[in-house]
Amino acid sequence: MKKRAAMRAPCWSLPDLIQSPSVLMMIGAFLLVLGPLVVFHELGHYLVARLFKVRSDVFSIGFGKELAGWTDRRGTRWKIAALPLGGYVQFAGDMNAASVPDPALANASAEELRGTFQAAKLWQRALIVLAGPVANLFLAIAIFWVFAISYGVPVAPPRIGGFSEHSAAQTAGLRVGDTITAIDGAPISSFFEIAERVAIYPGRTVTVEAERDGRRISTPVTLETAVDKDEFGNEIRRGMLGVRATALEFKPVGPVEAVGVAVDQSIGSVRMMAIGLGQIVSGERPVSEMGGPIKIAKFSGERLALGWPEFVAFAALISINLAFINLLPIPTLDGGHLAFYAAEAIRRRPLGARSQEWAFRTGLAFVLAVMLFVTVNDLVALFPIGK
């Protein structure tokens, strides 16, 4: 009996030891991520509008029916709505939450327009709109700054200390001791920059420049396509050179140096998001990699299950994602408004009310279609058809 019991004893792996989050935990973590990020984004709009004496009629967290709210002494209605998938600030003079100008004010006098969004100067309107995404970027930088001060910065020279099995770099002729200096012409000064330059390009052939015994060499390398799984079974597809560092240490940084580290991390995240979106549009990456609210909720719960540092780091990435998406030149998004203001600056007059209305309707339809698509995409990923 003892032998039989020993044979049946399970062998636990890392994913087995980490409990998958419940649906309730995922929902709670999702709201804990999205709620503060949306508040911070909308506060950016609101505070800059106040700076320019533009009144705000509504400050809403979520869309749809109001669940709770109050009106402050400035006349702003602060409310929490039923659908917690975003939020908005509606300024005086706006017809709706998409900031479409109220046509009733088309022939209003300067006195009647005082304090409305339309009465603000063009550059002021642009700064009010830009303030939301910028607030999200600042929040992410602040989080990365705290992490850099708290944990230090990983440091390793870009020198090859070894190779993984079936290494693409070793197959291409690189050797232990070679120092990688550039990838596709982009300078490399740290071992961690190597992963940043290749992870987004699985299967692509890149040109690697290196130093060997005082000589400069250059060789094409076809990156490995590695498909790994995290602690919860999520597949991660990335490009790899298949090299190992010679040494790794965490270097303490001061508050000033940490600012540069945090800004670099944020810029790197934005660059990878832009490249990834371009690859999806071009067909280089499958659309299944796009995620919507369900996938964000799933990842939020999983990061929270790993601990608060993982969860907060994930929130920083979502904050950058929120800023990036909102800056896309799509009507109804902040980037769409900025595109209108750019056109107004060039034409020396705003687009016609009818043109703006149709643009906003088209933009809203596009955004809703994308939301529907990514939601279906999430459901298919969670419940694969045919399995």
Distance from C-alpha of 181 to C-alpha of 187, rounded to nearest angstrom: 6
Q: Give the type of residue at 366.
A: F
Pick the closest to residue 195 from 228, 238, 232, 229 (CA basis): 238
**Residue 333, class by beta-carbon neighbours within 10 Å (0-12 exposed, 13-18 middle, 19+ buried)?**
buried
Name, in order, each residue with C-beta under 8 angstroms of 372's C-beta and a sequence gap of 6 or more.
Answer: none
Does residue 223 contact residue 284 with C-beta atoms inside 8 Å?
no
Distance from C-alpha of 89 to C-alpha of 128, rounded to nearest angstrom: 11
| Radius of gyration of the CA atoms of the chain, in A | 25
Which of 42, 196, 224, 302 does the annotation list as catalytic? 42
Q: Give the type of residue at 101.
A: P
DSSP letters, 93-156, are: TBSSTT-PBPGGGTT--HHHHTTSTTTS-HHHHHHHHHHHHHHHHHHHHHHHHHHHHHH-EEE-
Helix, strand, coil abundance in the chain, percent, nearest 5: 50, 20, 30
224 tagged catalytic: no
Does residue 219 contact residue 208 with C-beta atoms inside 8 Å?
yes
Residues noted as catalytic: 42
